[in-house]
């Protein structure tokens, strides 16, 4: 069912190229190039009603908006190059085998996905197909689950994984973007009018979505523009600025990587081209290797989506505290940097990485609310919401993940703010009710003298909340609980 890559030239074949939402591009698309090289090709996207209906779209409104952008551009580009992206309503496990048979294709090709539910889907589709389902690598830089320790086990620590990656992974050259595409075969064209389940790219209105203009625009051309802008502006100082929440110091390519509007290889090669062996280049590629690590972990340990990576955390006594949960999700905990992160998420479908770490640490350690609740909330609103990376980020923050931050490291939201948002600009952007407060109090407004608060138009408890928990008390409460719980559990 799978192929690492393919260059064997075969006699003309007919291939169904199954685009499936993580490869919404024409550049560096190995299955597409392979299909073109072999002969006829039919590009397909299955519009599964489970995802493409208002109730479900409301569960992931920003990702859906980004996906629709990317899908529209893909359909337009495929048409411009001489073919047509066929959009067909139904479940992949039914639609793909039916169409493969109806159009007498020789193969179905797609990119491999790492998630357990996607792997199960692919097994079902493969079992129902009368021809091979050929899955190509490309979601990651190197096939997940192939780098192994000296004792042939998956890596559980990032640094040796990274060392192995840098020593063993060879990142192939990019596949060229096709200048034209073979037209749909005539017999396929003639069956289209009778294909009742054929559809077009749904509009946001079809799915009951109201457009949020603050969400990044999806699509291959926008991804490429973002990569170019990053190379031009922030890349050279990535190592110094990546943790600064107040600066545009990172690439903002995460949603593009998630939806494949750009490939990981394109980003990897661009970083080598633009940054070479500089410190900025190394630090940036370190993050891309973290992405590899999270995907490999999910490949080897699919159960992490259901339970903590570290079994010692199973059954951890997280609290059900609806008041605290509401304060955290709405950005009203009284800790400015935590609140800025929550509001950035709701407004933009994105949160700066440092702010994600602070906010996740606060939810799990200060408020003792399960990382799984935070993880699900982020999955709902993040445009880049990705099963592997989001789960890893949350488990890392809670202390129960693969090579996680030790449980006893509890972020102090005030000192984190002072260090990574020194002028308070990040807080002021998302928590405007604090915007007039002097910088020295911006990360701890309750320490400001009454006159400073009055001058900044702030009434604690009215215009901005008092802290929901006291930092030192919350820290000790978590440490005592975790120490006690983990004592005899290895």
* Residues in touch with ligand FAD (CB under 6 A): 242, 250-254, 257-258, 287-288, 290-291, 294, 353, 356-357, 360, 378, 382, 384-386, 389-390, 392-394, 397
Compute the chain's Rg from CA coordinates: 24
Nearer to ligand FAD, 313 or 394 (CB): 394
242: phi then psi, degrees, rounded to nearest 5: -60, -25
In the chain, DSSP finds a helix count (H) and a strand count (E) of 21, 7
Nearer to ligand FAD, 175 or 296 (CB): 296
Least distance in Å: CB of 211 to ligand FAD? 22
Nearer to ligand FAD, 254 or 266 (CB): 254
3-state secondary structure of 468: coil
Scored b (16 or more CB within 10 A) or e, 377-403 reads bbbbbbbbbbbbbbbbbbbbbbbbbbb
Nearest C-alpha neighbor of 105 from the set 14, 1, 186, 12: 14
Asked if 63 and 215 touch (Cβ cutoff 8 Å), the reply is no
Nearer to ligand FAD, 202 or 281 (CB): 281
Least distance in Å: CB of 102 to ligand FAD? 37
Nearer to ligand FAD, 14 or 365 (CB): 365
Nearer to ligand FAD, 48 or 386 (CB): 386
Least distance in Å: CB of 318 to ligand FAD? 16
Nearer to ligand FAD, 98 or 286 (CB): 286
Least distance in Å: CB of 384 to ligand FAD? 4
Q: Which residue is nearest to ligand FAD (CB)?
A: 393
Least distance in Å: CB of 393 to ligand FAD? 2
Nearer to ligand FAD, 265 or 291 (CB): 291
Least distance in Å: CB of 176 to ligand FAD? 24
Least distance in Å: CB of 177 to ligand FAD? 21
Residues 6 or more apart whose CB falls under 8 angstroms from that of 463 comprise 433, 457
Least distance in Å: CB of 295 to ligand FAD? 9
Which token pair is 200? 């077009």
Residue 247, Cβ neighbours under 10 Å: how many?
17
Q: Tell me, what DSSP letter sits at residue 365?
A: I
Scored b (16 or more CB within 10 A) or e, 253-281 reads bbbbbbbbbbbbbbbbbbbeebbeeeebb
Asked if 293 and 163 touch (Cβ cutoff 8 Å), the reply is no
Least distance in Å: CB of 163 to ligand FAD? 17
Evaluate the CA torsion angle 440, 464, 373, 212 in order and state its sign. Answer: negative
Show contacts of 284-289: CB within 8 Å, 24+ apart. 284/235, 284/238, 284/239, 284/242, 284/251, 286/162, 287/242, 288/141, 288/264, 289/158, 289/161, 289/162, 289/165, 289/166
Asked if 126 and 133 touch (Cβ cutoff 8 Å), the reply is yes
Nearer to ligand FAD, 14 or 222 (CB): 222
């Amino acid at each position: 069912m799978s192929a690492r890559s393919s260059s064997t030239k075969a006699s003309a074949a007919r291939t169904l190229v199954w685009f499936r939402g993580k490869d919404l591009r024409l550049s560096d698309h190995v299955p597409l190039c392979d299909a073109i090289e072999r002969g006829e090709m039919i590009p397909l996207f299955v519009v599964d009603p489970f995802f493409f209906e208002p109730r479900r779209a409301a569960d992931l409104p920003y990702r859906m908006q980004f996906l629709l952008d990317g899908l529209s551009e893909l359909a337009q580009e495929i048409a411009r190059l001489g073919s047509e992206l066929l959009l067909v309503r139904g479940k992949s496990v039914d639609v793909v085998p039916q169409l493969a048979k109806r159009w007498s294709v020789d193969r179905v090709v797609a990119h491999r996905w790492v998630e357990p539910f996607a792997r199960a889907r692919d097994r079902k589709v493969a079992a129902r197909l009368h021809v091979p389902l050929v899955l190509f690598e490309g979601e990651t830089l190197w096939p997940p689950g192939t780098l192994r320790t000296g004792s042939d086990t998956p890596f559980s620590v990032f640094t040796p994984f990274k060392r192995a990656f840098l020593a063993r992974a060879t990142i192939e050259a990019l596949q060229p973007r096709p200048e034209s595409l073979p037209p749909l075969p005539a017999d396929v064209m003639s069956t289209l009018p009778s294909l009742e389940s054929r559809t077009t790219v749904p509009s946001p209105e079809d799915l009951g979505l109201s457009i949020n203009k603050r969400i990044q625009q999806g699509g291959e051309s926008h991804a490429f523009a973002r990569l170019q802008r990053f190379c031009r502006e922030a890349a050279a100082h990535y190592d110094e600025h990546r943790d600064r929440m107040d600066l545009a110091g990172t690439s903002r390519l995460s949603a593009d990587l998630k939806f494949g509007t750009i490939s990981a290889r394109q980003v990897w090669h661009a970083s080598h081209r633009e940054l070479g062996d500089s410190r900025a280049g190394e630090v940036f590629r370190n993050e891309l290797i973290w992405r590899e690590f999270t995907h490999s972990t999910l490949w080897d340990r699919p159960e992490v989506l259901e339970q903590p990576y570290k079994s010692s955390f199973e059954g951890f006594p997280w609290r059900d505290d609806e008041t605290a949960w509401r304060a955290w999700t709405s950005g009203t905990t009284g800790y400015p940097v935590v609140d800025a992160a929550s509001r950035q998420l709701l407004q933009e479908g994105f949160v700066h990485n440092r702010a994600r770490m602070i906010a996740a640490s606060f939810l799990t350690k200060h408020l003792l609310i399960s990382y799984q609740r935070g993880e699900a909330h982020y999955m709902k609103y993040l445009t880049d919401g990705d099963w592997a990376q989001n789960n890893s980020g949350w488990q890392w923050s809670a202390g129960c993940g693969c090579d996680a931050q030790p449980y006893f490291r509890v972020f102090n939201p005030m000192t984190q703010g002072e260090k990574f948002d020194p002028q308070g600009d990040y807080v002021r952007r998302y928590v405007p009710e604090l915007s007039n407060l002097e910088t020295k109090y911006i990360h701890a407004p309750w320490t400001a003298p009454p006159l400073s608060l009055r001058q900044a138009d702030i009434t604690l408890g009215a215009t901005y909340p008092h802290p929901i928990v006291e930092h030192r008390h919350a820290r000790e409460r978590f440490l005592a609980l975790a120490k006690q719980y983990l004592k005899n559990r290895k």
